[in-house]
Structure 1
Amino acid sequence: MSNMPADNSMTELQQLDADTATATATGRSERAKWLLTSPDPPAPWHQLFSSIKQTLLPQPKPKQPRPNRPFLFMQTLFPILKWGKNYKAAMFKNDLLAGLTLASLCIPQSIGYANLAKMDPQYGLYTSVVPPLIYAVMGSSRDIAIGPVAVVSLLLSAMISKVVDPSVDPVTYRRTVFTVTFFTGAFQTLFGVFRLGFLVDFLSHAAIVGFMGGAAIWYPLNAVLGCSFLIFILITRFIEAIAVGRSFASMKGYHLEGNKEMVAMGFMNIIGSLTSCYTATGSFSRTAVNYSAGCETVVSNIVMSITVLICLLFFTKLLYYTPLAILASIILSALPGLIDLHAAYNIWKVDKLDFMVCLGAFLGVLFGSVEIGLLVATRNVIKNCRNYKKYKNVGNGGVPL
């Protein structure tokens, strides 16, 4: 009789072990069945439609009445319809002052950057009129200032001069510049619609720092070092615009969505190319001035555009006599800003391999060609893709997707 409790305990333990084994086997069987009979992935066209819908169509609230949904779509495509309802006269005062300040800066800058792009001065001023107006309607950043920038002007002249000599055939050169601007905007619009803005993130900051530094030093030596620039026009202007927009958006506590910005800037350059404008993007120097001048909304870009347009209509004769020394000083003051030694030092402290990529891109552009610099930068792109896949597998329990 004294052995009965012990026997009962052994029986209960054996039963518990048997139940545990049965549950484990059942769980494994269910997991295996789920893996073997998992649902088919959605069709490619369904994924494509879903990505377009997420970019262009708003996500209404569950109780949102259907008649308002078309208006929500218009608000998503044209954010000015959303924030314009809350615009006040006190805000316009600050935007007016900021816009006039921007105009005083962008007029000589636009003339200088047009010279950098080997275009006539008026085309730089056109680029400060039409694209800012389009962005004011479609863009979501409150602080960014749109117009020509040094690095994009440099890339355009370097790329197209390889095909058409502006001194021999200036008409064909201008047409080629406008064509490049059109296709740059078209590709960027497609990238934004299909939510491909994340692809630019794989091109590391180290590669951009090295490339811009090499390009800034290369420009005075362009008669010696011949090279052609292609896809970096799209990548560089998008990265600069998004980096500038997000930096100032974080200061004011609002979010800037990259894909919608790509769509806005794509349309901005498509329409700009049809009105004698070359590639425009967000300028850090003008955005900093715009922010410091106390801008409230993107209306400051509208004020700037109207001011530049008035100068084009009534004061072009005065602008004609702008000394070349002033234009040269504007260009020379812009190019050293592309050489970011502090960023290169920080890259060296954080990751020695990234620094080698930065140095390789810098030396490749300076002493070889941009193709060589891009090949070096591709090494870091492959590394980032491998890290992304590794982190993605870890996040899914180590099961590759």
Structure 2
Amino acid sequence: MIDQLSRYVPVLVWARAYNRQTFSNDMIAAVIVTIMLIPQSLAYAMLAGLPPEAGIYASIVPIILYAIFGTSRALAVGPVAVVSLLTASAIGQVAEQGTAGYAAAALTLAFLSGGFLLMLGVFRLGFLANFLSHPVIAGFIAASGILIATSQLKHILGVSAGGRTLPEMLGSIVANLSQLNSVTLAIGVLATGFLFWIRNNLKATLKRLGAPDLLADISTKAGPVVAVVATTLAVWGFDLADRGVKIVGEVPQSLPPLTLPDFSPALLEALLAPAILISIIGFVESVSVAQTLAAKKRQRVNPDQELIGLGAANLGAAFTGGYPVTGGFARSVVNFDAGAETPAAGAFTAIGLTIAAIALTPLVYYLPNATLAATIIVAVLGLVDLSILKKTWNYSRADFTAVAATIVLTLGLGVELGVAAGVAISVLLQLYKTSRPHVAEVGLVPGTQHFRNILRHKVETDPTLLTLRVDESLYFVNTRFLEEMIEHRIIDGNGLRNVVLMFSAVNEVDYSALESLESINHRLVEMGIGLHLSEVKGPVMDRLKRSHFIDQLNGRIFMSQYDAWTAFASQPVSGDIKETRIGT
């Protein structure tokens, strides 16, 4: 009974072996992640258009729930930049920022996201996330990083601006440059430069000075806290709020409240599609990080159980004043590098954030928004990897098209339309590629029983025998291509008496493809040419036997292509690699 329950509640597995050493390692990791997460939580809440405390609330109960139901030992769950951007984009269309309706919509979005993830996990439907290809995800994240960084420029400049797309944001900023606040700009630029320096240079500098690795790590991760403290003291000490510097203001000093999402049908309908999008993107990002970190310690992550863990975390956020969450790349890597051994490290992080919510929130009253914006900009610019364009251009023009289209459309039309268009383009490109399957005419490699493409190798062929190797499964999209190719080849092949289709790479033949094979067979019967199959896989053969095709076949089925060659080759000739191309 316990073993069955542990499949769905992994805490019952790792808790059995918990000991003092594991506790010590988890606590150290929790301290480091908590230091990193406090300013990040405030900043990501601002990015989502929510009060700063929402970021802290979204980092407490969700972490605990994931620790109970998740399978990754190092994944750190909470607000992340991309999901925060998607949240702002989704609820900004149904409610005005700063209103009670806006906060309620965020709770509803988290509830829908959690429910959808939970459903996928219970019914083991995690494979649906595969419809988001890596090029689309890479393009979307890069474009989102640019959008997020651009959206924070208004806080660095101290101006009022809006917009959901890159042109709208830049246009709004330029139109409001007359509002520029020089003091805010100074704080924003200094904080951004300081954080970039810490991110890129502090750890190496401390190591050169002889600092231990742990101290160097903690100091680097505490960099944003230093920026927060320094700029907060500057605003407080010099009364910079009176000079137009916008500050966080009062943050409630309390535990996460019990909240209830808005279940009105109109709101649920409006947020359902964005919730599904957020769920899938969040899951793909989360499980990718979890599997990468687990592989380093030869551990295993169960994607379907991860769906349940993330679903529970989002449901927890919905009822405790938060908004949609997922596993964050940066904080998970920090958690792993700091030595976290079990999900208990996340639970300890939640305790640290609870203490911060109760005791430390008054200290951020004078925290300038420009510093939080700098924290976001430095964090997200690491997501912008435009080298994916060059890599995909060199490797696959189809993948390049998907990446480029996703980036351009996300920047130009917004995040939802951008990623939806990227997925649609990927599916269409895949359909186009499979509609033109790779079919090679093959010949016998001299002195062997192997057959290779006549366009790539010097092989023996026979003018009376045509052998085509079909390198993909046959289904309704690509069967017409095969028909046309055979028709073209037999018209040009004077003296042709036999056609052999080599099925060694065919894993599936659907009903449309079966009808096409029957049509090919009928056409060849009329021309006095035999149609034969070779190297047909068992499952394909089983299905063909359930049809009339085998009985009507104007030829034979061979175990190997060499058997077919031996049966039909009458006057083989050796040939050089041909210059003309048949098919693809």
> What interval of TM-score do these two structures reach, taking the shorter chain for normalisation?
0.7 to 0.9
> In 1, Cα distance between the equivalents of 2:56 and 2:508?
50
> In 2, Cα distance between the equivalents of 1:326 and 1:201?
37
Asked if 1:273 corresponds to 2:318, the answer is yes
> In 2, Cα distance between the equivalents of 1:93 and 1:270?
30
**Closer, same or farther: CA 320–377 of 1 in aligned 2, 3 Å:** same
Match of 1:127 in 2: 58
How big is the shift at 1:216?
2.5
> In 1, Cα distance between the equivalents of 2:315 and 2:412?
34
**Closer, same or farther: CA 372–148 of 1 in aligned 2, 3 Å:** closer
Asked if 1:241 corresponds to 2:172, the answer is no
Match of 1:192 in 2: 121
**Closer, same or farther: CA 373–184 of 1 in aligned 2, 3 Å:** closer
**Closer, same or farther: CA 119–346 of 1 in aligned 2, 3 Å:** same
How big is the shift at 1:350?
2.5
Q: Which amino acid aligns with 1:153?
A: S
Paired residues, number: 330
Match of 1:91 in 2: 22
* Preserved CA contact (<8 Å) 1:118 1:157: yes
Higher relative contact order (CA 8 A, sep 6+): 1
Residues 84-106 of structure 1 deviation map (CA, whole Å, 9 limit, x = unaligned): 11111011111100000000000
> In 2, Cα distance between the equivalents of 1:100 and 1:372?
38
How big is the shift at 1:210?
1.5
* Preserved CA contact (<8 Å) 1:211 1:373: yes
Asked if 1:175 corresponds to 2:68, the answer is no
Please list, as runs of the form range in 1=range in 2, the aligned pairs for 1:109-258 lying within 5 A after superposition: 109-167=40-98, 170-219=99-148, 220=150, 222-223=162-163, 225=165, 230=274, 231-258=276-303
Match of 2:508 in 1: 393
Match of 1:289 in 2: 334
Match of 2:180 in 1: none
SS at match of 1:256: coil
Segments of structure 1 that go 5 or more residues without pairing to the other structure are 1-69
**Closer, same or farther: CA 180–344 of 1 in aligned 2, 3 Å:** same
How big is the shift at 1:373?
4.8
How big is the shift at 1:176?
0.5
Is the strand fraction higher in 1 or 2? 2
Is the helix fraction higher in 1 or 2? 1
How big is the shift at 1:344?
3.4
> In 2, Cα distance between the equivalents of 1:73 and 1:376?
40
> In 1, Cα distance between the equivalents of 2:422 and 2:287?
24
Which residue of the other structure, out of 287, 300, 305, is the alignment partner of 2:350? 305
Match of 2:491 in 1: none
* Preserved CA contact (<8 Å) 2:507 2:540: no
**Closer, same or farther: CA 302–260 of 1 in aligned 2, 3 Å:** same
Q: Which amino acid aligns with 2:304?
A: N
How big is the shift at 1:163?
1.6
How big is the shift at 1:124?
0.3
Q: Which amino acid aligns with 1:248?
A: L
TM-score, normalising length: structure 2 = 0.54
> In 2, Cα distance between the equivalents of 1:190 and 1:86?
30
Q: Which amino acid aligns with 1:315?
A: L
* Preserved CA contact (<8 Å) 2:122 2:308: yes
> In 2, Cα distance between the equivalents of 1:309 and 1:373?
35
Q: Which amino acid aligns with 2:96?
A: D
SS at match of 2:382: helix
**Closer, same or farther: CA 392–384 of 1 in aligned 2, 3 Å:** farther
TM-score, normalising length: structure 1 = 0.77
* Preserved CA contact (<8 Å) 1:143 1:296: yes
> In 2, Cα distance between the equivalents of 1:389 and 1:270?
42
* Preserved CA contact (<8 Å) 1:204 1:381: no
Match of 2:420 in 1: 374
- Report the more deviating stretch, 287-296 or 383-392: 383-392
* Preserved CA contact (<8 Å) 1:360 1:373: no
* Preserved CA contact (<8 Å) 1:203 1:381: no
* Preserved CA contact (<8 Å) 1:139 1:261: yes
Percent of aligned pairs sharing the same letter: 32
- Report the more deviating stretch, 318-327 or 80-89: 318-327
Residues 190-229 of structure 1 deviation map (CA, whole Å, 9 limit, x = unaligned): 1111111111112101111122222222343652637998
SS at match of 2:322: coil
Segments of structure 2 that go 5 or more residues without pairing to the other structure are 152-161, 170-270, 435-471, 475-505, 510-536, 547-584
Which residue of the other structure, out of 318, 326, 336, is the alignment partner of 2:363? 318
- Report the more deviating stretch, 292-301 or 336-345: 336-345
Asked if 1:330 corresponds to 2:375, the answer is yes
Q: Which amino acid aligns with 1:397?
A: V
* Preserved CA contact (<8 Å) 2:77 2:325: yes
Match of 1:77 in 2: 8
Q: Which amino acid aligns with 2:130?
A: D
> In 2, Cα distance between the equivalents of 1:262 and 1:82?
18
SS at match of 1:154: helix
> In 2, Cα distance between the equivalents of 1:116 and 1:253?
36
Residues 352-381 of structure 1 deviation map (CA, whole Å, 9 limit, x = unaligned): 101111100111111234425523431313
* Preserved CA contact (<8 Å) 2:398 2:429: no
Q: Which amino acid aligns with 1:198?
A: F
Which residue of the other structure, out of 406, 412, 416, is the alignment partner of 1:361? 406
* Preserved CA contact (<8 Å) 1:130 1:277: no
Q: Which amino acid aligns with 1:119?
A: L
> In 2, Cα distance between the equivalents of 1:243 and 1:373?
18
Residues 329-349 of structure 1 deviation map (CA, whole Å, 9 limit, x = unaligned): 111112212222233333333
> In 1, Cα distance between the equivalents of 2:507 and 2:430?
12
**Closer, same or farther: CA 323–340 of 1 in aligned 2, 3 Å:** same
Match of 1:45 in 2: none
> In 2, Cα distance between the equivalents of 1:354 and 1:173?
38
Residues 98-125 of structure 1 deviation map (CA, whole Å, 9 limit, x = unaligned): 0000000000000000000011111100
